[in-house]
Structure 1
Amino acid sequence: MKLLINGSAARMGGAKTILEKYLLEADFSEYTDVYVLAPPNTTVPLNKGVSHIKMSTSGIWTFLFSVLGIIYWKLRLNADTILSFSNVNLILPMGKRITYFHQYLALKQGKERPWQLQLIYLTQKYLSWDSTVVVQTEYIKQVYSEVIGNHNEIIVRWPGYYPFPKNNDEIVLLGDTSDKKLVFTPITNIEQKHRNFEFIRNNKSFFVKNNLKLILPCEEHELIDKDYMIAAGYLGKNELSSLLRKTEFMINVSLEETVGLMLYEYTSLGKPVLILDRPYLESSKLLEIRSDLVYPFKHEKELQNTYLSMTQNAVKCVPQDNLQEGEWP
Structure 2
Amino acid sequence: MDKIDSLEKDIISLKIQGATNIAFSVLEGIVIASKKIPANKPVGEYLEKIGKKLAYARPTEPLAQNAIRFIFSNKKKGLEYYLLKVAEYKKLISEAKIKMGEEGIKLIHDGGVYFTHCHSSTVTSIFIKAYKQGKKFSVIATETRPRFQGRITVRELLDAGIEDVTLIIDDAIETILQNYRQKIKAVFLGADLLSCDGFVNKIGSLGIAYSAYHNNIPFYSMSILLKYDPRSFSNEMIEKRSEKEIWKDAPAKLKIYSPAFDFVPYDTGVKIVSEAGIIEGKEVSSVACSSYSFLK
Q: TM-score, normalised by structure 1?
A: 0.34
The structure having more radius of gyration, on CA atoms, is 1
Bigger relative contact order, structure 1 or 2 (CA pairs below 8 A, ≥6 apart): 2
Q: TM-score, normalised by structure 2?
A: 0.37
